[in-house]
């Protein structure tokens, strides 16, 4: 029977081979239906779904921010783009527009660049359906310009759009274009930061024992082993963001001898059991979004 099942991550069947994770933490299990392209195919192309694996919750959290970015930033960019489109329409209608080839070219180029932005950043505001019109247009845009999938690439695009808007050179276009350039620069910086964080998470989760031990040794500053401060630094610097409660409880569970320090063998057992190769269900706290089983 052709079907679509949307499941939360706290009810995962470990044997399901057709599950696809994507950015909001849910999984999609889908087969082909009468609409043509299957939901799984859409999710794979739009969100670059990662094969089912115990490590994917950590990877996908970092990957989601590297590709999508914070919701607040996306909302600001979305409404700013609509505002700049309104400025251009006002410029054409209410201001004495000079119909020269340069002016017309800049106006058309600015409108085209700005009208693309709502499709790139309108997921939370327009449509969440991965088979909807907005999603399909976004897939088409990203298939032509692959760098727009990542946050840093869209930051460069927004700086270009703001520069073209600014080049129209009348007072409202100058202010609005400069603001879009600023948003593009902020997006680029955040995108690079989140991309580096994603790379760190991917590298540490794919590290072998020798690489993991070398990374562990970097944070050992006491003769007795790794302290709780070094443990917290190890997690944070490798892109694994957890709250203070998680770090304390996790360290206490590793430090079975209650010495205040842990050695690599203790850490390694916890790492493979709770972070890398845990077979337990990951449950998410409403406030901190912390995997409880990692305790």
Distance CA 87, CA 107 (A): 11
What are the beta bridge partners of residue 222?
Answer: 225
Domain shared by 73 and 177, yes or no: yes
Domain shared by 86 and 179, yes or no: yes
Distance CA 68, CA 231 (A): 29
Domain shared by 70 and 190, yes or no: yes
Residue 103 located in a structural domain:
yes
Indicate the Cα dihedral angle 152, 155, 156, 159, nearest 10°. -160
What are the beta bridge partners of residue 27?
Answer: 7, 21
Distance CA 183, CA 273 (A): 42
- In terms of Cα–Cα distance, which of 234, 224, 187, 162 is closest to 69? 187
Residue 113 located in a structural domain:
yes
Domain shared by 74 and 137, yes or no: yes
Residue 94 located in a structural domain:
yes
Domain shared by 99 and 162, yes or no: yes
- The pLDDT score that the predictor gives to residue 108 is 92
What is the per-residue pLDDT across 42-87, written as a single tens digit (0 to 9) for each? Answer: 444 444 433 333 345 777 788 888 888 888 999 999 999 999 999 9
Residue 30 located in a structural domain:
no
pLDDT beyond 90 at 100 = no
Count of residues in the chain: 295
Domain shared by 138 and 251, yes or no: no
Is residue 241 within 8 A of residue 292, CB to CB? The reply is no
Residue 287 located in a structural domain:
no
Q: In the predicted model, what is the mean pLDDT of residues 159-175?
A: 91
Residue 206 located in a structural domain:
no
Among 163, 195, 227, the domain-final residue is 195
pLDDT beyond 60 at 16 = no
Retrieve residue 190's tokens.
Answer: 């955040």
Residue 236 located in a structural domain:
yes
Q: Which ranges constitute the DSSP H helices of 11-99?
A: 39-47, 56-67, 71-94
pLDDT beyond 90 at 178 = yes
Domain, as residue range, for 110? 61-195
Q: What's the total number of domains in the chain?
A: 2
| Radius of gyration for the alpha carbons in the chain, expressed in angstroms and rounded | 24
Domain shared by 228 and 271, yes or no: yes
Residue 291 located in a structural domain:
no
Domain shared by 188 and 75, yes or no: yes
- Report DSSP letters for 160-225, one per residue: HHHHHHHTT-SHHHHHHHHHHHHHHHHHHHHHHHHHHHHHHHHHHHT--HHHHHHHHHTT--BTTB
Domain shared by 156 and 188, yes or no: yes
Domain shared by 66 and 189, yes or no: yes
What is the per-residue pLDDT across 107-161, written as a single tens digit (0 to 9) for each? Answer: 999 999 999 999 998 876 666 677 778 888 888 999 999 899 999 999 999 999 9
Domain shared by 191 and 66, yes or no: yes
Q: Which residue has the higher pLDDT, 117 or 221?
A: 117
| Contacts (Cβ under 8 Å, ≥6 apart) of 239 | 58, 62, 197, 198, 200, 201, 204
Domain shared by 139 and 250, yes or no: no
Q: The pTM is what? A: 0.66
């Amino acid at each position: 029977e052709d079907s679509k099942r949307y499941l939360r991550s706290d009810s995962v069947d470990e044997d399901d081979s057709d599950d696809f994770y994507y950015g909001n933490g849910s999984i999609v299990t889908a087969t082909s239906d009468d609409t043509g392209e299957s939901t799984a195919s859409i999710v794979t192309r739009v969100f670059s779904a990662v094969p089912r694996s115990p490590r994917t919750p950590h990877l996908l959290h970092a990957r989601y921010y590297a590709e999508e970015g914070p919701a607040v930033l996306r909302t600001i960019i979305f409404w700013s783009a609509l505002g700049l489109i309104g400025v251009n329409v006002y410029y054409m209608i209410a201001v004495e527009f000079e119909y020269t080839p340069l002016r017309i070219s800049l106006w058309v180029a600015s409108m085209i660049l700005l009208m693309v932005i709502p499709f790139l950043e309108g997921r939370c505001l327009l449509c969440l359906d991965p088979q909807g019109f907005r999603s399909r247009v976004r897939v088409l845009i990203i298939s032509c310009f692959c760098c727009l999938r990542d946050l840093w690439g869209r930051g460069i695009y927004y700086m270009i759009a703001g520069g073209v808007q600014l080049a129209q050179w009348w007072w409202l276009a100058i202010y609005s274009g400069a603001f879009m350039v600023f948003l593009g620069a902020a997006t680029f910086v955040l995108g690079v930061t989140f991309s580096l964080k994603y790379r760190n998470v991917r590298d540490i989760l794919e590290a072998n024992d020798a690489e993991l031990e070398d990374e562990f040794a970097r944070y050992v500053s006491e003769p007795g082993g790794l302290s709780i401060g070094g443990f917290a630094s190890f997690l944070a610097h490798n892109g694994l963001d957890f709250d203070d409660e998680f770090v304390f409880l996790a360290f206490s569970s590793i430090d079975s001898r209650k010495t205040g320090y842990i050695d690599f063998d203790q850490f390694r057992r916890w790492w493979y059991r709770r972070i890398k190769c845990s077979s337990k269900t990951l449950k998410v706290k409403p406030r901190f979004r912390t995997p409880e089983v990692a305790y």
